[in-house]
Amino acid sequence: MDNFKDKVAERYKAIQNEICKALEKADGSGAFEEELWSREGGGGGCTRIMQNGEVIEKGGVNFSAVHGVLPESVKKAFGVDQAEFFATGVSIVIHPKNPMVPIIHMNIRYFELDDQTRWFGGGIDLTPHYVIEKQATYFHQQVKATCDLFHPNFYSKFKKQADDYFFIKHRDETRGVGGIFYDRLKPENTELSWDEILEFSVAVGKIFAPTYTELINLNKTKAFTEAQKAWQLQRRSRYVEFNLVYDSGTKFGLETNGRIESILMSLPPQANWVYNYEPLKDSEEYKTLQLLRKGIDWV
């Protein structure tokens, strides 16, 4: 068990390093600042943040490996009695400067109570300020190709779960164009071994850099207006609402006494809430809102 936990953590550390190098290269001038931290109760992590880069206004690529005693609220939510836990993962959110470049999020994680109670979770999803359908299709094709390497049903199942999870109920809209979301993966429900599920988790991590770099390069030099920048700040507010109201990772981090700055690194540097904003019909903003719904077949 200890060897497997160590293996997962080491693979995730390597993913963090790989993605940070790729993002620095794609940005051109920005660099990640690193902060090592320890969690009271056990474990710690490595937070890497880029701010005010050429492309990336604020981005975080975080690794953690923590352990200790589960709070009663988390034990109840998980439906378990075991108190000692171990959790490791990589969590990424990138907020670009240019509103034509999409926000992206990825998370891969492993959670363990004992040999009988452990699982993998994670996913990757795209949140464009302006939905460009061809690029949304490209993103989903990359994700599907990775899923198909491991199971023919993974993409369709996890895509639906992403649509359902990344849904802002009080707005009746999806956070973006989705991607995949999965939780509690284990041999009993995947037809894969523990090592194979780990390889799937790592494969999800490895599609991040080439896929997002392509989207950056397609959009980073596009001109934009003040009105489009204002729309970006408006769309960022939806991102904040989801993460603070619904996101399970945020809740888990706060309830297990995680590091606040690392947990909330997903929030953008600036967001606007415009009262009762209604875009003009047939505008690009209006068209984007029509595509923020569940069940779109992007591939």
- Give catalytic residues, as residue numbers: 105
DSSP per-residue string spanning the chain: -HHHHHHHHHHHHHHHHHHHHHHHHHHSS---EEEEEE-TTSEEEEEEEEES-SSEEEEEEEEEEEEEE--HHHHHHHT----EEEEEEEEEEEEESSTTSPEEEEEEEEEEEETTEEEEEEEEEEE-SS--HHHHHHHHHHHHHHHHTT-TTHHHHHHHHHHHHSEETTTTEESSSEEEEEEEE-HHHHSS-HHHHHHHHHHHHHHHHHHHHHHHHHHTT----HHHHHHHHHHHHHHHHHHHHT-HHHHHHHHTT--HHHHGGGS-S-----TT--PPTTSHHHHHHHT-STT----
